[in-house]
Chains A and B, each alone.
Chain A
Amino acid sequence: MTGIDALAARLRAEIGVRRVLTDRQELRTYECDGLAHYKVIPALVALPSTVEQVAAVVRACAETGTPFVARGSGTGLSGGALPHADGVLIVTSQLREIVEVRPEDERAVVQPGVINLQVTKVAGPHGYYYAPDPSSQQICSIGGNVAENSGGAHCLKYGFTTNHVTGLEVVTPDGERVRLGGPAPDTPGYDLLGAFVGSEGTLGVATEVTVKLTRLPETVRTLLAAFASTDQAGAATSAIIAAGVVPAAIEMMDALAIEAAESAVKCGYPAGAGAVLIVELDGPATEVEAQFTEVNALCEANGAFETRIAADDAERALIWRGRKSAFAAVGRISPDYIVQDGVIPRTALPAVLHRIGEVATEHGVRVANVFHAGDGNLHPLVLFDDSVPGQAGRAETVSAAILDLCIEHGGSITGEHGVGIDKAKHMPRMFSDDDLDTMQLVRCAFDPDGIANPGKIFPTPRLCGERPGRRQGAHPAQAAGVAEIF
């Protein structure tokens, strides 16, 4: 019996026969996440339905030195949930209970497999919602959100997942159940909750999440402004921020992104626009009305040739439809594309967009820009045709050059999609060896044997040091399964 067969037998006994998959055809379903060009078939998939079962699976992995990878809905865009060839994939989709909704405490407690939008749905009747709203919110899981510290269009005003999670139960890589934080703020001690959020499954499995519920705003106003160029739209964005307005969202799309959205969902944006801005304000009615007038004037002063104001929810949905469909929509105008995710200081926007245009032209590929303009989070879509020899390589080059630009301007290599497997190699460009080593001190505290999602985030894992009496298990340095996929 191989190691995995023995593990499978143990897990079948502990969590149930139907919750353990080893059939290659079934395993294949889980070979990739949203970044589909990385594929690895896991050795085993576990589908626990209780927290105790999650702990049992992790304990079994810990005792046998088997790597494990948590997976929520598999929508991640950095290969974070890419399985390990010799490891266990722990899928949280059976952990879908909404444990409690307490509007009077502005909290809800949910299991990790609960879908993001579901939280808003259950809180809505009480007048509350869950603020972080990734575009994937209809399908992505709260556990995945926690692991990626996901943001959304409205995080400009409301912050990211990390600002909306106050408590977690996690199963640490040794199989222990630990509570971090709770329903109240400022839990004494190290903010391990803060360190866990955004750790991409490398510190353990989140098994219960306490989230803040936010009061639904009294008023929401949405404006679409069309400009001749991204320079003008960028100037309008800066003017809005300079005026002291913090909109709920400011999103920008350039001409190519508009073209794609038009052909996919017929969003009917103003013809001839070189860029559109979507600005949304929310809050108390009087505040919103006053600021809305100001935003409208600032757009016009910066060259908007047409502005549209959503009169109702239906018109608002129409304005957002173009933006929300943009990623998928570029499939209409290009057979293949790379979604990049990088951050720059907002004031560098015009310079960076020009440079992206130049780099794209130099390499003979097109780049469509869709992004969160308010916080400088770029999502350039590098378009290419894989059937044309050399294009894929050129697209890769342009995509990497965009990250260079982000780093040059003091930004970040990822604003919301995470490092995963895809950007681990870029980490040393943003952080020194000492910085990365310091992050891994935390890793060593949680996971000295390096079995939780090995090969992700860090290009070279740290040796956690000899510990008297401690067994040194399989080390991530042996992440051979990862090496094969390149």
Chain B
Amino acid sequence: MAALDELTTPAGDGDTVCGVRARLVAAPADTAEAAALIRAAQGLSVVIRGGGTKLDWGPPPRELDLIIDTRRLSGVVEHAAGDLITVVKAGTPMSELHGLPGQQLALDAPAGATAGGTVAANASGPRRLRYGTARDLLIGITVVRPDGTVTKAGGKVVKNVAGYDLGKLYTGAFGTLGLITECVFRLHPAPAAAAFVRAVAPPGQAAKILAGQFAASALEVNAAPGAEPELAVLVEGTPAGVRERAAAIAALLDGEVSEQAPDWWDVSPWPDGGVGIKLTGRLSQVPALVATAVGAGATVRGSAGAGVLYAGFPAPNPSPGPATTGIGPSSPGPASSSATSTSASDSSPTAGSTGTGTSSPAAVSTGAGRSSPVSSSASTVSPVVGPGTGTAEGTVEAGRAIELLRAAAVRAGGHAVVLTAPAGVRETLDMWGPVPGLALMRRVKDQFDPDHRFAPGRFVGGI
């Protein structure tokens, strides 16, 4: 067995996860090397790093010895176009998979994200309405278990019911059950044509699109305190079909057809250092969820077609200046959202927001740029998160806002998960919230990782 010091290097200043610094870093080049590494690392606590785009989201690890970086595990192993599948190593950038010849892996992902990270987070974007998420598109997977065992599940064919569908279990497990080294995905043909329809319309109008015969690929809402809420619809298909459906949707919503996505499309509604929350609920409850979140001072975006929203609060301003907005459920509700009108349809698309970036640098600043002026005009929202991040007042307010949104999500039949929050606030929050079936989940974790070494404390219920 190779010794640990041959397989790892000492960690540098940047090798931290939520402020917790690792001792060692390793970047195995293939599954065998990864397995040797993990066997040699028995007893160490491990966090896996993909593109590292969202590694600082979620709770910090309880302990951290070793970061396993997947970026050398990179490359498309196979693209069987006739079978509409691809086999890729886990560290492969998603951007490589968006434009396979004539085909695509139809998963929205931020610039820099890896295939493995996207699966581990079950990350998704607007097009989940049509194509589903990583959960639906992953058909095979290779994982190195925490004990170093290499194991596969699924296969290379789309239709397959042999044995348990373990791909589902690893999807969204955030690296707590092992290291994903290879993924097999189902692909879709690249659509011949696509168009967006953008409209100033309340989220309730989304139901009209769902009830119609538009076969939308995405149906997104965008709402912020003091601004008119917007809807944007993506239609894909044959050129004639897209033209016709886009025109019909534009007529229905009194919107306009555009080649380009709105600048907020697939952009997280919070800036660096802000608070980001994922909200889910029944489709019919989306308008109520949006109203509650906007009422609490959040900018809200997401899929009105799938019932998955993202709410963002801007970063607390360190200097007590004007236009500081914070978290606080003090706004009277959605009514305030029509106080001022900032229509997105007349804001020009920004370079960098290509419709696949959740957090490319340009996109983040766009998100921040949009939310700050919008919220500053919402006089009903009181600035509550104090001048400093970790102030007791700010922390209490953040906790209250999250409780409010969580209660709303539960009423809507869903959940509220805090994805990211600034240091100081994060520690005080129950980021994942209550989860049904937690006892069973713990038993699964105990089976895969009895010593709780992989991403300890980062997952639901402290798993």
Query: Which residues of A are at the interface with B, using a C-beta cutoff of 8 A?
Result: 102, 104-107, 127, 148-149, 151, 155, 159-160, 162-163, 172, 178-180, 182-195, 197-199, 215, 217-218, 238, 241-242, 244-246, 283-287, 290-291, 343-347, 372, 375-377, 410-419, 423, 427, 430-432, 434-439, 441-446, 457
A410 in contact with B155 given A162-B168, A182-B414, A283-B215 (CB within 8 Å) = yes
Q: B133: CB under 8 A from chain A?
A: yes
Knowing A183-B282, A412-B162, A415-B160 touch, does A244 contact B102 (C-beta < 8 A)?
Answer: yes
CB closest chain-B residue, reference A423: B162
For A244, the closest partner residue in chain B by CB is: B189
Report A-chain residues with C-beta under 8 Å of the C-beta of B241.
284, 286-287, 290
- The number of chain B residues with a CB under 8 A from chain A is 89
B392-435, CB < 8 A from A: 412-415, 417, 432-433, 435
Let me know if B284 and A104 touch, CB within 8 A.
yes
Please indicate the chain A residues that have their CB under 8 angstroms from the CB of B251 in the complex: none
Most A CB within 10 A of own CB, among B158, B213, B278, B448: B158
Interfacial chain B residues near A435, Cβ < 8 Å: 151-153, 163
Partner of B159, one of A190, A238, A372: A372
Interchain CB contact (< 8 A) of B432 among A188, A191, A242, A437: A188
A-chain residues with CB within 8 Å of residue B460 when the two chains form the complex: 188-190
User: Are A438 and B307 within 8 A (Cβ)?
Assistant: no
Q: How far is the CA of A439 from the CA of B167 in the complex (A)?
A: 11
Point out the residue from B122, B136, B191, B211 that lies within 8 Å of A159, measured CB to CB.
B136
List residues of B (43-97) whose CB comes within 8 Å of A's CBs.
80-85
Which single member of B173, B192, B436 contacts A179 (CB below 8 Å)?
Answer: B436
B168: min CB distance to chain A, Å: 3
The answer, among B85, B169, B213, for a CB contact under 8 Å with A191, is B169
* A418–B161 CB distance below 8 A: yes
| A434 pairs with B436, CB closer than 8 A | no
Alpha-carbon distance A158/B264, docked complex (angstroms): 29
A381 CA / B160 CA spacing, docked (Å): 19
Q: Given A184-B307, A441-B444, 11 more contacts at CB 8 Å?
A: A183-B414, A184-B308, A185-B307, A191-B122, A241-B82, A242-B81, A343-B157, A419-B162, A430-B163, A441-B448, A445-B444
Q: A198-B161, A290-B241, A410-B157 are in contact. Are A446 and B440 (CB under 8 A)?
A: yes
Q: A283-B215, A290-B238 are in contact. Are A106 and B283 (CB under 8 A)?
A: yes
List chain A residues, Cβ under 8 A from B164.
195, 198-199, 439, 442-443, 457
From residue B411, how far is it (CB to closest CB) to chain A in Å?
11
Contact in complex: A127, B211 (CB < 8 Å): yes
Known: A187-B436, A189-B437, A215-B210. A438 touches B162 (CB 8 A): no
- Given A188-B415, A283-B215 in contact, is the A105-B437 Cβ separation under 8 Å? no
Sample 11 A-B pairs with CB under 8 A, ordered by A number.
A102-B284, A105-B284, A178-B440, A186-B124, A189-B459, A190-B441, A191-B135, A284-B214, A415-B161, A438-B149, A445-B444
- CB pair B240–A286 under 8 Å, yes or no, is yes
Top 3 closest pairs, chain A to chain B, by CB: A194-B168, A244-B189, A184-B414
Question: Which residues on the A side are within 8 Å of B155 (C-beta)?
Answer: 410-412, 430
Q: Which residues from chain B contact A183 at a C-beta distance below 8 Å?
A: 282, 413-414
Residues on the B chain within 8 Å of A417, using CB:
161
Q: Chain B: residues with CB nearer than 8 A to chain A?
A: 80-85, 102, 122, 124, 132-133, 135-136, 143, 145, 149-153, 155-169, 171-173, 177, 188-192, 207, 210-211, 213-215, 237-238, 240-241, 244-245, 278, 280-285, 306-308, 412-415, 417, 432-433, 435-441, 443-448, 459-461
- B136 contact set on A, CB distance < 8 A: 159, 163
* Chain B residues, Cβ within 8 Å of A286: 238, 240-241, 244-245
CA distance A194 to B122 in the complex (A): 13
Q: Which of A184, A195, A431 contacts B168 (CB 8 A)?
A: A195
B215:A457 contact, CB within 8 angstroms = no
Bound: A347/B157 CA distance, A: 11
Could you say which residues of chain B place their CB within 8 Å of the CB of A344? 157
**Which residues of the partner chain A approach B447 to less than 8 Å between Cβ atoms?**
441-442, 444-445
Q: Which of B162, B441, B444 has the most CB of A within 10 A?
A: B162
Docked Cα-Cα span, A148 to B164, in Å, equals: 10
Contact status A414-B160, CB under 8 Å? yes
Q: How far is the CB of B180 from chain A (nearest CB, A)?
A: 13
A410 contact set on B, CB distance < 8 A:
155-157
**A212 vs B245: C-alpha distance when bound (angstroms):** 24
Distance, CA A438 to CA B152, complexed state (A)? 9
B161–A148 touching, CB < 8 Å: yes
Of B136, B165, B188, B189, the most chain A CB neighbours within 10 A belong to B165
Contact in complex: B133, A186 (CB < 8 Å): yes
| Cα–Cα distance between A387 and B204 once the two chains are bound (Å) | 67
Shortest CB distance A236–B (Å): 13
Question: In the bound complex, what is the Cα–Cα distance between A108 and B322 (angstroms)?
Answer: 49
Q: What residues of A have a CB within 8 angstroms of the CB of B132 in the complex?
A: 159, 163
Give the nearest-CB partner of B244 in chain A: A286
A185–B132 Cα distance when bound, in Å, is 10
Contact of B280 among A186, A195, A376, A413 (CB under 8 A): A186
The answer for the CA separation of A430 and B220 in the assembled complex, in Å, is 42
User: Roughly how many angstroms separate A444 CA and B414 CA in the complex, as a whole number?
Assistant: 29
Q: Do A195 and B166 have beta carbons less than 8 Å apart?
A: yes
Alpha-carbon distance A179/B280, docked complex (angstroms) = 17
B188, A246: Cβ atoms closer than 8 Å: yes
Question: Which residues of the other chain, B, contact A198 by a CB distance below 8 angstroms?
Answer: 161, 164-165
Given A194-B171, A284-B237, A284-B241, CB of A184 within 8 Å of CB of B415: yes
Q: What residues of chain B lie closer than 8 Å to A185, measured between beta carbons?
A: 133, 280, 306-308
Contact in complex: B122, A346 (CB < 8 Å): no
Q: For A182, list chain B residues within 8 Å (CB).
A: 413-414, 436
Q: Across the interface, which residues of B come within 8 angstroms of A172, CB to CB?
A: 440
Contact among A127, A184, A287, A431 with B413 in the assembled complex (CB-CB below 8 Å): A184
Q: How far is the CB of A272 from chain B (nearest CB, A)?
A: 29
User: Could you tell me the distance in whole angstroms from the C-beta of B422 to the nearest C-beta in chain A?
Assistant: 21
Interface contact B280-A287, CB-CB below 8 Å: no
In the complex formed, the residue of A with least CB distance to B245 is A284
